[in-house]
Amino acid sequence: MDGLDLRVHEGEVLGFLGPNGAGKTTTMRMLVGLVRPTSGRIEVLGRPPGTPEQLARVGALIESPAFYPHLSGRDNLRLAARYAGVPERAADRVLAEVHLTDRAGSPFRTYSLGMKQRLGVAAALLKEPNLLILDEPTNGLDPAGVTDIRELLRALGRRGRTVLLSSHVLGEVEQICDRIVVIDAGRLVADGTPDELRGSLGQAVLVIDADPADRAADCLRGHDGVRSVELVDGRLRVTTDPALAATLNRRLVEAGIDVRELRPVRHSLEEAFLTLTAPARPPMAEERTGRQEPATTTGGLR
């Protein structure tokens, strides 16, 4: 990690993105005290990582779920409950939350990857933590399982739980997370809402199906706010502010051009992610973190 300054606001679901090897898992390990930073300071919920007071309020699933293979899912959770100092009956509650009650008595070694992942999420929920740290929680889950976990995370967010979620499934992050941070090579490269990240790529594109297309292109070139006009497969791709859509439509109609379709195409989060983490791109931490200064860090992570 290289000077990473990460703040998670209380009650938000924060997406934590980065390419392989960017340092996401290392960061998460540091947040629960499994790895110590060589320099700098970490506070989680106002406490240093790895202290009993901090761990009591944090649930974590980091990398692949690791449990005792000969113990059943329920016994693994009962064991974790003993260490955590929570009642062993909490195991059944969280097993039900991740829909694993039916196989709770089976040895962990007989679980599928998806079931192991569910058990990992269950273990993270065991302490009813204020902060959940989840590293690829839907890895290996079937579509129904992904939906279940997504709904569970949304519900946790609604209940005011703070969630730090790492995932390579950008659609999932986009749907669940209030805010996203992107790191690359151990450094923060972006921090904002999904819309802000998409918007960081610049103006969106309007796709216009007009007849005649070449006259429409000439008509729009030079219009205020239009940066470029391209003719692709018989349609115009106009790089501009989507708010100008109505104005441009009026101009084309007034010029006697038929407009059959006009729709804005927003940049995807994937495009934003790939651009932000492209090897040739210089770091953007300063320009992006500057406008995302949190209003408060009380009860958060810094």
Q: Which residues of the chain form contacts with other proteins (CB under 8 A)? A: 25, 29, 32-36, 50-52, 55-56, 58, 60, 62-64, 66-71, 75-76, 78-80, 82-85, 123, 127
Considering only the C-alpha atoms of the chain, give the largest distance between any 2 of them, rounded to a whole number of Å: 77
Distance (Å, whole) CA 191 – CA 183? 9
Cβ closest to other proteins, residue 89 vs residue 291: 89
Query: How far apart are CB 21 and other proteins at their closest, in Å?
Result: 14
Cβ closest to other proteins, residue 75 vs residue 191: 75
Query: How far apart are CB 155 and other proteins at their closest, in Å?
Result: 23
The DSSP result for the chain, as a single string, is --S----B-TT-EEEEE--TTSSHHHHHHHHTTSS--SSS---BTTB-TTSHHHHTTEEEE-SS----TTSBHHHHHHHHHHHHT--TTHHHHHHHHTT-GGGTTSBGGG--HHHHHHHHHHHHHTT--SEEEEESTTTT--HHHHHHHHHHHHHHHHTT-EEEEE-S-HHHHHHH-SEEEEEETTEEEEEE-HHHHHHTT-SEEEEEEEESHHHHHHHHTT-TTEEEEEEETTEEEEEE-GGGHHHHHHHHHHTT-EEEEEEEEPPPHHHHHHHHT-TTSPP-HHHHHGGG--S--TTSB-
Cβ closest to other proteins, residue 66 vs residue 155: 66
Query: How far apart are CB 210 and other proteins at their closest, in Å?
Result: 57
Cβ closest to other proteins, residue 64 vs residue 110: 64
Is 60 in contact with 28 (CB distance < 8 Å)?
yes
The sign of the CA dihedral 147, 152, 155, 161 is negative
Query: How far apart are CB 92 and other proteins at their closest, in Å?
Result: 16
Task: Residue 288: name the closest of 270, 276, 271, 302 by CA.
Answer: 276
Query: How far apart are CB 183 and other proteins at their closest, in Å?
Result: 18
Cβ closest to other proteins, residue 112 vs residue 147: 112
Query: How far apart are CB 79 and other proteins at their closest, in Å?
Result: 5
Cβ closest to other proteins, residue 166 vs residue 240: 166
Query: How far apart are CB 37 and other proteins at their closest, in Å?
Result: 10
Cβ closest to other proteins, residue 56 vs residue 245: 56
Query: How far apart are CB 298 and other proteins at their closest, in Å?
Result: 23
Cβ closest to other proteins, residue 30 vs residue 210: 30
